[in-house]
Amino acid sequence: MAMDIAHRDHLLAALHGVLGAATLLLCLLAELLVFALRRHAALYLAPAASMLLLGRLRRRAAAAEIGLVDFACLKPPRRLRIPVAGLLEHFRLIGCFDGASVEFMTKVIEASGMGNETYFPPSLHYIPPAATHAGAVQEAGMLFFPALDDLFARTGVPPSAVGALVVNCSGFCPAPSLAAIIASRYRMRGDVRTFNLSGMGCAAGVVGVDVARGVLLTHDIPYAVVVSAEIVTIGWYSGKDQGKLLLNCYFRTGCSAALVTNRRGAAARAPVKYRLAGLTRTNQIANDRSYRSGYREEDDEGVTGFTLGQGVGRMVSELLRAHLVTLGLSILPWREKLRYARALLLLLLSSRRRRDDGSSKLARAVPLPDFRAAADHFCLPSSGRPMIWRLGQGLGLGEREMEAALMTFHRFGNQSAASLWYQLAYLEAKGRVRAGDTVWQLGVGSGLKANSLVWQRVAGGDGERELGPWADCIHRYPVTET
């Protein structure tokens, strides 16, 4: 099977090469014909311009053919559940935290909107926690393999058909790599292209899809798998620096796996559920304050943890403003763009009149586009109820648009980049995503960076419910005590 796929890929690559050579030959012949017939010099540009135009159209058509076949999200075993009361008692018993640290984490968790059914890996259920390399490797297998088994079973695509594997996990980088662990377990083909992304935080899932898209368009391979997870074992912080305790409060066990395809040629045999309608990435890494807003380092006692710096909220706001301008230009309908431009123009004229009149009154706040005109469903950074509400209201969203993010955090906690896929699974379990609907996934990660995916549903979804990790609890949601 693997050899047949490899031969097919080589034939497709050869065919594309022949077509490219034929196009170049036709352009050269056209140039020679213009020269032989002694035509106007301007005509020499016509063949070259045609070739450039055809190449651009071909690349644009190929990019539009990137689709999501399906995705799977892990539902950890019930024995790993960690109720809030049990977690707080755990903090008191393990002995590494002082009273002030326990009190701080208690306040954060109680205000976060987290429920009683989130999960910790086995290593963190011990007293004291066994945050070791071996425990992290064990957690990786516990996350990746069930999620991938589910993905391959749902899609009917065997591991031998996968041409590229992208794994993103911020804090754990073993050798062999996490991508190598997966490729070895599933005996993937010898020429599979593996990529291991680390240190990118909650925005890494979009980066993974972007990498997969580039490989699919460049190498004529049919399928790529993007795996997103956070190894909570290695992210556990046992010190007393309150700036580093937030990961203990928010992050929980979870994993997602998505099968992305280039729908050209043989890959069209696998029907796609979503079409990639937009992908936008923005970063402020060159800004020193932004760069230091989230940092993994040792505290004064030598204990390693991840620090959220002061002013991170302000930096995220600045980042999102820049990101939304770029994203809005590509996804907002023309009617909303014109309405927004008109509102900005009126604001500028009003501000100018106030200055001319010598008025000291403040001008109105800069208006926001209505992003509900650009997307039907929203998946937001899963960073606790206060942050979700603040971000949602800043985007002009209502409670229903924020529901997927709030309920995912309540049920599963923050699973870093995988949280966006759990939110999409929530929307599907509710039967809300119908054919033609668009879904906007927004991730914000360390760096700082803001990344967005926009998917359009192309198959099924007319009230159909796909329960996924929500199978045993979707009837209880939304809950009101978040």
Give me the helix-helix angle, 45-63 and 204-219, nearest 10°. 130
> In terms of domains, do 320 and 191 share one?
no
pLDDT, one tens digit per residue, over 81-132 is: 999 999 999 999 988 888 999 999 999 999 999 999 999 999 999 988 888 8
Domain end among 238, 273, 308: 273
How far apart (Å, rounded) are the C-alpha atoms in residues 482 and 473? Answer: 16
454 found inside a domain: yes
Per the CB < 8 A criterion, the answer to whether 89 and 102 are in contact is no
Tokens 């368009």 belong to residue: 217
Task: Reply yes or no on whether the pLDDT at 357 is more than 70.
Answer: no
21 found inside a domain: no
> In terms of domains, do 301 and 153 share one?
no
Percent share of the chain, pLDDT over 70: 84
**Structural domains in the chain (count):** 2
Q: Which run of H or of E encompasses 398?
A: none
> In terms of domains, do 380 and 419 share one?
yes
Domain end among 257, 273, 289: 273
Q: What is the pTM of this model?
A: 0.84
Per the CB < 8 A criterion, the answer to whether 148 and 182 are in contact is yes
Domain that holds residue 107: 68-273
> In terms of domains, do 143 and 236 share one?
yes
> In terms of domains, do 258 and 156 share one?
yes
> In terms of domains, do 267 and 392 share one?
no
Per the CB < 8 A criterion, the answer to whether 148 and 165 are in contact is no
Task: Reply yes or no on whether the pLDDT at 239 is more than 90.
Answer: no
pLDDT, one tens digit per residue, over 396-444 is: 899 999 999 999 999 999 999 999 999 999 999 999 999 999 999 999 9
> In terms of domains, do 308 and 209 share one?
no
How far apart (Å, rounded) are the C-alpha atoms in residues 378 and 61? Answer: 26
27 found inside a domain: no
Per the CB < 8 A criterion, the answer to whether 298 and 237 are in contact is no
What's the CATH number where 454 sits? 3.40.47.10
202 found inside a domain: yes
356 found inside a domain: no
Domain end among 273, 295, 322: 273
Q: Rounded mean pLDDT of 304-326?
A: 84
> In terms of domains, do 120 and 227 share one?
yes
> In terms of domains, do 298 and 264 share one?
no
Per the CB < 8 A criterion, the answer to whether 132 and 236 are in contact is no
> In terms of domains, do 305 and 442 share one?
yes
286 found inside a domain: yes
Q: Is the peptide bond before 174 cis (omega within 30 degrees of 0)?
A: no
Task: Reply yes or no on whether the pLDDT at 59 is more than 70.
Answer: no
> In terms of domains, do 327 and 379 share one?
yes
340 found inside a domain: yes
> In terms of domains, do 263 and 296 share one?
no
Q: What pLDDT score was predicted for residue 265?
A: 46
How far apart (Å, rounded) are the C-alpha atoms in residues 81 and 428? Answer: 24
pLDDT, one tens digit per residue, over 176-235 is: 999 999 999 999 999 999 999 998 888 899 999 999 999 999 888 889 999 999 999 988
80 found inside a domain: yes
